[in-house]
Structure 1
Amino acid sequence: MAEAVPTFGKPWGSLQPSLSQAVLDAVASLGFEHMTPVQEATIPAFVQNSDVVVEAATGSGKTLAFIIPVLELLQRRKVKLAHSDVGAVIISPTRELAKQIFDVLDEVIRLTGFEYKPHLVVGGSSSATNTADEISQMKELGPDILVGTPGRLEDVLCGRLKHGKKTKSGTITASGGVRGRPSASASKLEVCVLDEADRLLDMGFEASLTAIFSALPKQRRTGLFSATMSEALSQLVRAGLRNPVRVQVQVRDKNGAGDERRVPSTLSIRYLVWPPDRKLAQILRFIQNNEPQKYIVYFSTCAAVDYFFKLLQRVISPRLTNFAGSKKALKEERERLKKYFDLDFPVSVHELHGQMVQKKRQATFSAFTAIPPGEAGILLCTDVASRGLDIPDVDCVIQWDPPTDPKSFAHRCGRTARAGRSGQALVFLNPGSEETYVDFLELRKIPMSPADYLWQNEDGGITTETPEGAQVSGRFSDDGDESNAVLSDASNSKDDGEDGEDKGESEQKKKKKRFSSLHIKYPDDERSDRLLDLMRDIIATDRSIYERGKLAFVSFVQAYSKHEATYIFRQKELPIIEVAKGFALLHLPSMPELRGRPTGRFVRYEIDTDTIPYVDNKRETQRLAKLEAAQKEKKEARQHKAAEQQSEEKKKKKKKPNNTNAWSEAKEAKERARERKLKRIKKRDAHATLEETRLLEKIDDPQLREVLAKDPLLAKRMMSKRDKSLQDIKLMAARQQAKASSKQSTQSTQSTQSLEEVIENAKKLRRSKRASSDGSSDSDSSNEDGWEAEARKEKIRAIMAKKTKRKRFSFNPGFSDEEAENEE
């Protein structure tokens, strides 16, 4: 058990200026004979109308260091406060801390006999009616001292904000809307105290604090109290305090070494570096290995607190209320659990986090605080219970994982070893890069020492000695496969000279670079693995625990990536598969952080998760109804989709030909189609031949018929009325003969050419031109084009020379009488 150690402060009566006798009597009634260093340095400066900034280790007595000056300053007022006036305001970051300060203040006021009326103002009301009732009660009481959280104090002192706007951080600004009337007046306020001031700023209360300060008079005393100092707090000091007195109380090692510490010297902090799937077994063995005492176990997320609270309830105190089965099945489960966790005394399990209803939060805090010394209890909580709370008789603080904000580490550990008592704290660290956290805290003047790993024998006994025959295996980060990551001595040894050694070293460096956690060997703990298997069996019988486990694991991984010390807590080096094992998950959830990770080391629990029931029959009935409706909807969707596919296939079958015939039948069909095509071609050719013969018979001119018989292509073009060149050539020859006779030229130079000669000359001329241009041989069609072009040119020249308009020529199968006469 933790024992108190003497404090070496001065007596309360030695303070200058001296305190009132009523305050001295009250302090003596509380059992405090001597002051702590922070009280001795703070109270005189605060009472003498000076602003103070106090930085002292947690558990050093800061609460009395500002409660006593508040009462002294109010007692020295010459004018009594009116019913609606407030003389002092004490601001706290959390409801639990505000309630604790209010209880201490109310007790001191009762012991002094002062007629001051304190009032607790905290949020958490679930309805506007409750809030209105609280405000009406406060107005009726007319309090002199208000203790509360920033948001509700802002509503009381500045008026409730209506239709307000929000800043980027989500806090409501005072200038964003219309405010109602204040419920109390702060115009005659004497003193304002901010407890855990750095936490007030970290939680995003800047806007509310600014609004509260704007409603307070400038001629007031202000005190900032905290165990740690931040840059934001320094800015607040420069902005809102006038020439403050800074009080910084340092803790020295009691062995006389003189080393400065940020935690009490009676606090022993130890760390344990082992794979994360051993944490649950270590906590249970730690509880089993000690006498009945009070523990606080810190987690980083609310979901993790909720999950392990449900799980430890089944492990530590299984009851029919949280068990789905008969008394016989419950008895069998207890017998199985006794193999791994057997106690001779009862242990109560409690949970506390920020997402709980205020009524339940207060009930949980009160129940855990009320546990008397000598009895065992466990409080699972987040950092909501890490600041300023004075929970009596807490002997040990266990941190499942280090806090996201490094400043919260000392506050967590400070829930034990308070007011001179001794205490111990334990923090779990993952192998790899997290060992650096020890050096990081040492620089912050928080010394730590390694802890012993606790083993469990087959008979259930706890020991620190490694069992004989324990196998050693390698543990790695999930950046690669375990089989590829083992660096055996044989693979690294080279006997071929210096070149071989250099090559082996380079390969080893590459592997070390790839696997950031390197090759870490730990003895296997079979009983820890069997305990996790038992946990999975329990989870498979309770859907409430199963669903909470998935949320807890996902929230933990997300919170891990938000650590402020990112160079220590690197998500890529987090052994996420071992973390999942430590959470006793039935299967790995679908999340982006698992992409690319080798999940082969995780063994999925063989169960259909849809069959996991709720312990609560009402919830199970609702779940089954929803599941049945969802399955029915899926079935209908599948049927509808299948019907659509069938209709589409039918449409495609109609469009496509039937290809189910045999190969021989298809070949015969092709042959028949080819024969039909040849018949059509022959029939068309025969018809064309008959048509040509018929047209040739209609030509009266024997000379033209003879020419066309020699040139079938020209005959075809003329008979299809696509060529008029022959008639043009004939007409041109007749004109040349007429011109020659009129001029009476010699027969040798202007001899009359027959039709065949004119055509032949035109063809020769065109052939010579084409041969000179491209050297290609002339086909019938190219010859035809050549003499046609020459004939047209000659025709155009004749027309331009004569400049006489002639009758347009149109082709007929025969020639008219007039044309025949001209030809003769």
Structure 2
Amino acid sequence: MDPSPNTNEALTETRFSDLKPPLSEDIIEALLRSGPPGFEFCTPVQAATIPLLCSHKDVAVDAATGSGKTLAFVLPLVEILRRSTSYPPKPHQVMGVIISPTRELSTQIYNVAQPFVSTLPNVNSVLLVGGRDVRADMKIIEEEGCNLLIGTPGRLSDIMERMDILDFRNLEILILDEADRLLEMGFQKQVNSIISRLPKQRRTGLFSATQTEGVEEMAKAGLRNPVRVEVRAESKSASLTNSKIPFGLHLEYLVCEADKKSSQLVDLLVRNKNKKLIVYFMTCACVDYWGLVLSKIPALKSISLIPIHGDKKQNARDKALASFTKASSGVLLCTDVAARGLDIPGIDYVVQYDPPQDPKMFNHRVGRTARLGKEGRSIVFLLPEEEDYVEFMRRRGVFCQEKKCSEEASDVIPIIRSLAMKDRAVYEKGKRAFVSFVHGYKEHECSYILRWQSLEIGKLAMGYGLLHVPSMSEVKQKRLSSEGFSPVEGVLKFEDIKFKDKSKEKQRKQNLQAKKEKLEDKKRERDKKNSKKAVNASSATADSKKRKLTGKQRQTIQTAEDEEEMARDYRLLKKLKKGSIEEDDFAKLTGADDF
């Protein structure tokens, strides 16, 4: 019996098995094994691109995020390798290369490709990304061989330069994924280096969510008479036709004061505690801080919070993503390191706590949900002075509906401040996050709307639950007002706040003692120099006067000097008894150690 027709509006009526030239039976079976029900149907970008690449055409693909681009190049790549005259390849004969901008995206592509590459018994694929020992990668290649390279530009170009054993003469296909991002991240040099080592007689696929001038230039340089494939997500609203926003995505914005943002965020997380969310912050330090603070708020105790950002070690990032991907609910706290290309299933809600520095990242962030025709929600938090951002995005084809602040949101600021007073880790991470946010805010590309001079720094510090407004040049020079900040009453000295972690507190005390001793050493050295200068000056004056004084006058001066020396020694003795100075210091200062 013929399978039921496709009911997913984000898919076409074209089955993978209907494509011409036809895909092999092994590929069709792998698709049915690895995909969900209804996976036999193509997305528009897959239906348009796979036949072209399989027909030996170069392609330049411009498609919305979440449109199924990865399979659009993985399936034809496997078919091209299967049909190659060089198949089966020798162990170090490279037949395909896939370049992507980030480690996470490269890893995702590698994992998506494995079920299909495994249908080619004699083809070995290798993942090459930074954050791992390059010598370990080289050893794997030497011992196991490699026919398909998948990785980031830096590591790929490094391996190519180091290893003469790799043979690219029979390379069949090159894929450049997220080409616009490759250029934005400054990988032009590495990409050019890789392409220069590859034969010109090859198939090339260039995939991008946005076509920039740089991408156009790359297409001219690396592709031969490419076929342009442009796919836009359809929209429920006629005014949104050809939008790059995924079908089925409900976009909202929430305007609230800076000192209310954190309370509104906690309220939103509590209301969606059984769902899967991604929350985007401006900086790595912000992710670290809110990851720590939110995990300690009682109302969020039952929610799994997973932080990830670019400053974390690669192994930690991989584990965090794997954990969140497997989870049925939870919250991923992240920077834009997780904004592009990553296909994490089941994201219900995307929360932009801070608008992205680069407005192009807005679409990529919200594109983590409502993928392949599914429903999804997204909300961006805006300060009152940022409300023009809504109109700015509307002119870019992104339409958001206003959402009112929750009146039932509990004030979490007292909780956060209490945490900071009890644990120095919270106190210090909060200051670091706040400062990094202000500095990051100054780097906004649409600074004519998001003006850092308009930041209400006092309210912002309150929203972060800080105990005081950090000392910053922008505040010292009164370019930003701290009005709206309420000091904590009865707080102990900030330097007396201790780490809950005993080992950290021990290290802090050691650092403080070392700093104190260093300052004391500098003071003693300074006093010693000043004393020496004074003695030298006095001696010179005395010698000058001695030549003109009578014997009686010289005797009077000598007596006064002797009395002054005795008084100085007596003062030092009193300090010794009080413990203000050590015996060694007393001996040095009185000259007793000369005997």
Counterparts of 1:169-208 in structure 2, within 5 Å, are 181-208=163-190
1:105 maps to what in 2? 113
**CA positional deviation for 1:652:** 11
After the TM superposition, which of the residue ranges 30-39 and 196-205 deviates more from structure 2?
30-39
Deviation at 1:252, TM superposition (A): 2.3
Which residue in the other structure is 1:172 paired with? none
Partner of 2:307: 351
The one-letter code of the counterpart of 1:615 is K
TM-aligned CA distance change 1:203 to 1:652, over 3 Å: same
> Is 1:307 matched up with 2:289?
yes
Matched, 1:614 2:464: no
Q: Find 1:362's aligned residue among 310, 318, 338.
A: 318
Residue 545 of structure 1 and its aligned partner are, at CA, apart by 2.2
SS at match of 1:38: helix
The separation in 2 between residues aligned to 1:152 and 1:639, in whole angstroms, is 53
The answer on 1:59 being equivalent to 2:41 is no
Contact 2:80 2:172 in 1 (8 A): yes
Structure 2 residue aligned with 1:397: 350
Counterpart position of 1:387:
340
Which of residues 359, 362, 369 is equivalent to 1:406?
359
2:79 alignment partner, one of 72, 76, 95: 72
Whether 1:94 aligns to 2:76 is no
2:130 to 123, 133, 137: 123
Alignment pair present for 1:220 and 2:101: no
- Percent of residue pairs identical: 40
Report deviation, 1:297: 0.8
Maintained 8 Å contact 1:613/1:620: yes
Following TM superposition, by how much is the alpha carbon of 1:649 offset from its aligned partner in structure 2, in angstroms?
A: 9.1
Which structure has the larger Rg?
1
Render the CA deviation track for 1:658-691: whole Å, top value 9, x for unaligned.
Answer: xxxxxxxxxxxxxxxxxxxxxxxxxxxxxxxxxx
Relative to structure 1, the CA distance from residue 641 to residue 188 in structure 2 (aligned partners, 3 Å threshold; closer, same or farther) is same
- Residue deviations 1:757-789 (CA, integer Å, cap 9, x gap): xxxxxxxxxxxxxxxxxxxxxxxxxxxxxxxxx
Aligned residue number for residue 48 of structure 1: 55
The question of whether the paired residues in 1 share the 8 Å contact of 2:106 and 2:151 is answered with yes
User: Offset at 1:155?
Assistant: 1.6
Distance 2:439 2:300 in 1: 34
Question: Measured at CA, do residues 200 and 635 of structure 1 come closer, stay the same or move farther in structure 2, by a change above 3 Å?
Answer: same
1:235-285 deviations in Å (ceiling 9; x for gaps): 111222111111111222235666331111211111111112222111110
1:141 equivalent to 2:144? Answer: yes
Q: 5+ unaligned residues in a row in structure 2: which ranges?
A: 1-6, 542-595
CA distance in 1, matches of 2:395, 2:166: 46
Which residue matches 2:460? 579
Residues 229-238 or 86-95, more deviating: 229-238
Offset from partner CA, 1:135-182 (integer Å, 9 cap, x none): 11122211211111111110222x13xxxxxxxxxxxxxxxxxxxx43
- Separation in 2, partners of 1:588, 1:624: 24
Structure 1 residue 25 displacement after superposition? 2.2
2: distance between equivalents of 1:214 and 1:55?
24
1:22 paired with 2:30, answer no
Tell me the equivalent position of 1:505. Answer: none
Distance in 2 between residues matched to 1:154 and 1:296, nearest whole Å: 33
Paired residue type of 1:17? P
RMSD value, Cα: 2.4
Q: Is the 8 A contact 1:156 1:184 kept in 2?
A: no
Query: What does 1:326-341 correspond to in 2, within 5 Å?
Result: 337=298, 341=299
Corresponding residue for residue 16 of structure 2 = 12
In structure 2, do the counterparts of structure 1 residues 79 and 574 end up closer, same or farther at CA, with 3 Å as the change threshold? same
- What SS does structure 1 have at the residue aligned with 2:379? strand
- Amino acid corresponding to residue 345 of structure 2 in structure 1: P
Look up the match of 1:568: 449
| Distance change (3 Å), C-alpha of 1:79 and 1:628 | closer
* 1:282 to 2:238 alignment: no
User: What letter corresponds to residue 313 of structure 1 in structure 2?
Assistant: S
Q: In the alignment, which of 405, 408, 428 is matched to residue 381 of structure 2?
A: 428
Paired residue secondary structure (2:373):
coil
The 8 Å contact of residues 22 and 113 in structure 1, kept in 2 or not, is answered as no
Q: Is the 8 A contact 2:17 2:40 kept in 1?
A: no
Give the counterpart letter for 1:391 in structure 2. I
Residues 313-712 of structure 1: matches in 2 within 5 Å?
313-315=295-297, 337=298, 341=299, 346-371=302-327, 373=328, 376-432=329-385, 434-456=386-408, 527-528=410-411, 531-594=412-475, 595-596=477-478, 597-605=480-488, 606-635=491-520, 637-638=522-523
Counterpart pick for 1:34 among 24, 32, 41: 41
Compute the displacement of 1:369 (Å): 1.0
Deviates more, 1:574-583 or 1:95-104: 574-583
Cα distance, 1:232 vs structure 2 = 1.2
Contact 2:456/2:482 (<8 A) preserved = no
Structure 1 pair 72–149 and aligned structure 2 pair: CA distance change class (3 A): same
In structure 1, list runs of 5 or more residues that go unmatched.
Answer: 161-180, 316-336, 457-461, 463-526, 657-824
The alpha carbon displacement at 1:647 in A equals: 8.8
SS of equivalent residue, structure 2 residue 291: helix
| TM-score, normalised relative to structure 1 | 0.61
Matched residue SS, 1:445: coil
CA contact (8 A) 2:422 2:498 kept: yes
Match of 1:209 among 180, 191, 203: 191
| 1:708-787 alignment runs, 5 A limit | none
- For residue 359 of structure 1, what is the amino acid of its counterpart? N
Q: Distance in 2 between matches of 1:536 and 1:258?
A: 44
**Secondary structure of residue in 2 paired with 1:34:** coil
CA distance in 2, matches of 1:571, 1:69: 48
Q: Judge conservation of contact 1:102–1:120 (CA < 8 Å) in 2.
A: yes
The one-letter amino acid paired with 1:627 is L
- Cα distance in 2 for residues equivalent to 1:78 and 1:19: 17
Displacement of 1:293: 1.1
- Report the CA distance between 1:389 and its aligned residue: 0.4
Distance 1:655 1:272, change over 3 A: farther
- Cα 1:282–1:183 change in 2 (3 A) is farther
**Alpha-carbon distance between aligned partners in 2 of 1:193 and 1:182, rounded to the nearest angstrom:** 22
SS at match of 2:90: coil
Task: Give a deviation string over 1:786-818, Cα, whole Å, max 9, x none.
Answer: xxxxxxxxxxxxxxxxxxxxxxxxxxxxxxxxx
Amino acid corresponding to residue 338 of structure 2 in structure 1: A
**TM-score calculated relative to the size of structure 2:** 0.83
Letter in 2 for 1:26: A
CA contact (8 A) 2:459 2:483 kept: no
User: 2:317 is aligned with what amino acid?
Assistant: R
Counterpart amino acid of residue 92 in structure 2: S
- Residue deviations 1:451-474 (CA, integer Å, cap 9, x gap): 121122xxxxx6xxxxxxxxxxxx
Distance in 2 between the 1:234 and 1:354 partners?
Answer: 28
Distance 1:438 1:77 in 2: 51
CA–CA distance in structure 1, aligned partners of residues 225 and 306 of structure 2: 45
User: What's the CA shift for 1:577?
Assistant: 2.2
Change (3 A) 1:56 1:630: same
Distance 1:646 1:208 in 2: 62
Residue identity matched to 1:614:
F
Is 1:248 aligned with 2:230?
Answer: yes
Instruction: Give the Cα separation in 1 of the matches to 2:262 and 2:239.
Output: 37
**Aligned twin of 2:158:** 155
- Greater mean alpha carbon deviation, residues 599-608 or residues 270-279: 599-608
Change (3 A) 1:272 1:621: same
Question: How many angstroms apart in 2 are the aligned matches of 1:591 and 1:639?
Answer: 31
Rate the CA distance shift 1:539–1:182 in 2: closer, same or farther, 3 A: farther
- Report the residue type matching 2:27 in the other structure: V
